[in-house]
Structure formats: structure tokens, C-alpha cells
Amino acid sequence: MVELKSAGNENEDEGFSELSAKVAGQVQNAHNRGIVGIFPFRASSSRSSTGLITVAHDSAKIWRMDEIENRSVNIVEKHVLGEWRMATQSCDATPDGKNILVLGIDCILKEIVLSEEGPQMLKHDFGYGETVHVKISSNGKNYLTASFSGNLTEIDTDGKISRQTPLQNAKHASCIACSPNNQYIAVAMVEGTVNIFHAESFTLQNTFEVHSMKIRTVAFTLDNANFLTGSDDKTIKMHSIHGSGDKPAGVIRMYCGNRDPVTCVMIDERSNGYRFASSNMAAQIYLWHLEMQTPIQSVPVVHTCPINSIVFTPRGRHLLSVGDDKSIVCYSIPTSEDALSSKEPTPEPEDIELEPEPDYLEMNMEQQEVVQEESQMIGYSDQPAEGSFQEPELRMRQYQADISQYMESQYPDQSTYQDSDMSMNPETRAENIDQVEDGDENSGQGLEVNMEEVKN
């Protein structure tokens, strides 16, 4: 059970002004392992509610965030969308939250699709090393990934490769970004360069040598003419794609203030693209103005580990962050309306009416949860299993004891499972359990070899 904290008015006693960023809410231990990304989307049930999708090294979840008084928030877990054992190296989601991409360190691309029947997970295997980093295009119709074979690859929604183009030093790619109008694709490298591709022709347009160290994040400005980069050299830079007048393409502004490597840069769309946020390895978040080279505001430090992802909510009233400490933190940030009047902010314009869609925050997903429970015969742990370095016979007895303990906890009444797999002999039962856990029809072969070792 996650621990939920709501900030309420606690920060008002610490000297914060009404135009300061404050901690609005926090969820500790939101996942069992570190969180890689967070993606907000509008909830159809209420204007004061926001849906959140979090992707961690162990699972993906959907949350409901409700704004209460003084801009504090309550964040409640709604559903587990999927679970896995392999750590996550990259992830992305569409703005409406319907499609989530999770790329594991095994290079298996997991696609989670939300529908009225519940979440469905599809797996795409293009070969080891052929999918490194993943990004959904701005139009939501294609996925982009880099491969160790030396290509920038475009994948359609059916999971098939639609286009490829050569990418020099593809093994050194560190992140991928798309411009808002889907005209440009940026591929950043660990050596500090950025390759700009033209999305329509899928050809390289320009290469920028911008940092002296690894680039961890790239974000395009809303006018599609510039892009921001954050690097391990502790700087953020803005670059012009084409240049203007007598100024050539390249660096046009450098932002200083971070004392640690920059991990994320995110532009606030509700500010017309003039405000952006950054995070660094020391868990510090700054708010910036595009025209100013130093931060305009710092955000209270809450995380105890490096921040992996930051994002503004659709209404622009809050900023969210996640990191390796398994926490979700929400900050209340000042808006342009607050600057005009701190007592009575100007009402926000009404959202455009859209066709009614299923409310995934209120949807019954019991069927999906049952499937997940059946697939988790033995729980995953970051720690090595007890007895994992013991003699084979003792290790096998410990393995069988773990299975029995799990079945007894799930079915206290033995009559409910006395005719199940537990009535099998240990060799057959262990083989079946291994097949359920790995999801591979051939996975029993490896266990048979281990059984021969035990017999000998």
C-alpha cells in the first residue's frame, strides 16, 4: 500500500510567498522499484482531476490526482497496467494516455493499449540491440527508436518497421525528441552532439556539436525553430535549427545555475512556451524563462535520489517529478494569473468540448488484475533468492518451499488447490511454474538441465 501525503498549508509557515513553488502532494513507495517516467492526461470526469501514468522498472500504473484547497492534491492509485521483471531503459506515452511504450533492457518493446475492455499489453521483439530508446512521434502515429545496427528506425502502430535511415554512432544515442509540429527529429549523443533529421524525408539535416559531455535530455520549443539540451556538463543550451538573419544555426543562449548534471528539461505549454523546468542529479528542480540565463525560481528539494522525469500538468498549475527513490512528488507552481492577482486569479478558459470517451480512471479492470495475479506465481525481488548460492539439492528444496508458501498464502483452504499443480511431482511442478513465470513455452528446457544436475 502506497503512503500518501498531502502538503496542505504546511509550506505557508516556512516563509513561502503566494508566488513561490510549494509541495502540493507526495506519494512515497509508489512502485517497488525506481520510477523512470510520468505522463499526465486530462481526466474526462472532472476539470479538477488529472490522470497520471507512471512507468517504473517493475510495472506501469495509472493514478488519479484531484486538486483540493490551496492547490494541494490527493494522488490515488487506480490500476496496475502491467508488470515485468526486466528493468526499463526508456518509456513514453501519448498525451491522452491511451498508448504507453515501455522498452526494457532486454530490448523488448512493450506496448500497453487502454481500451474499454481494459489494458492490453503487446510485445514487439525486433532483435537484441535493435530498439534502444523509444519516442512516440508528435502525431501519435509512429514510434521512433535507435538501433545498435546503426539506424534510426520508425515503427508503425502495428509493430512493423516502416522506415529506416543510417545513424552514425547509433550505439552512442542517449535520447530522442520530436518537434511539436512533427517536422524534426532530434537524436542526442553521449559525446555531446545532436543530429537533426527531417521527419518527412527521414534524412539527416544538420549535426550540432553543443556540449562537452553526455546529453541527457532534448526539448523543442513550441515555435519548432529552436531546441533545448541538458547535459552532464551542468549546462542547458538553446539552439537555433536554421538561424535568423545574419546569425547562423547553433547555440543562441546558455543557461547556468545547475551544480550537477542536468537530467530533464520540460517546456510549459500553458506559458506559451516561455517557461521551462529542469532537474538534475542532486534532485534539484529550477524554473526558467527562455529569455533569462539564470533560474527565476527554485523548487523545494524532496527527492532523495536523482530525478528521472519532470512534467507540467495540462492546466499548468502543477509540476510533477519522479525518480529512483520510488516517489511521486507534485509541486504547486505560480501561473500568469497568479502574477496578475494573487487573491482572485483570472478564470481559465474553458476546454474545448470533445466527444465523450471512456474514463480510464473509473473503469473496472478486475479482469486484468486477475490475469496479473495468475502470472505472478513467484514474486520478484531485487535481492538474490535465499539459498541461491547453495548446493543444487538444497536450492531445489528451498525453491519448492517457496512455491508451497505462496500457494498456502493464496489458498488458505487446501481443498481449493489439492487437485491443482501442487499434486504433481516436484520435477513436473517446478517445470510448470518456470513456464508460467517466464512466459516461454521452451523455458522448461533450462530447468530440466538443472534437474539432471540435482540427480547426479
On whether both 264 and 211 belong to a single domain, the answer is yes
Q: What is the pLDDT of residue 277?
A: 97
The span from the CA of 229 to the CA of 239, in Å, is: 8
The span from the CA of 58 to the CA of 79, in Å, is: 14
On whether both 411 and 292 belong to a single domain, the answer is no
Q: Smallest Cα–Cα separation from 142: which of 151, 155, 160, 161?
A: 155
Q: What is the pLDDT of residue 448?
A: 41
The span from the CA of 49 to the CA of 301, in Å, is: 25
On whether both 431 and 326 belong to a single domain, the answer is no
56, 35 in Cβ contact below 8 A?
yes
Q: What is the pLDDT of residue 42?
A: 86
Q: Please report whether residue 369 resides in a domain.
A: no
Q: Please report whether residue 372 resides in a domain.
A: no
The more confident residue out of 218 and 445 is 218
Q: Which three cell numbers, joined as nine digits, stand for 127?
A: 532483435
CA angle 239, 242, 244 (to 5 degrees): 90
Length of the chain: 456
| Pairing relationship of beta strands 99-104 and 108-115 according to DSSP bridges | antiparallel
pLDDT confidence band for 338 (50 / 70 / 90): low
The span from the CA of 353 to the CA of 365, in Å, is: 27
Q: Pick from 308, 337, 366: which residue ends a domain?
A: 337
On whether both 296 and 394 belong to a single domain, the answer is no
pLDDT in tens, 308-323: 999 999 988 999 999 9
| CATH number (domain holding residue 165) | 2.130.10.10
Q: Please report whether residue 370 resides in a domain.
A: no
Q: Smallest Cα–Cα separation from 82: which of 62, 105, 108?
A: 62
In the predicted model, what is the mean pLDDT of residues 6-29?
63
pTM: 0.72
Domain that holds residue 424: 378-455
Q: Please report whether residue 348 resides in a domain.
A: no
Q: What is the pLDDT of residue 336?
A: 63
Instruction: Name the amino acid, one letter, at 15.
Output: G
On whether both 175 and 262 belong to a single domain, the answer is yes
Q: Structurally, how many domains does the chain consist of? A: 2
Q: What is the pLDDT of residue 390?
A: 38
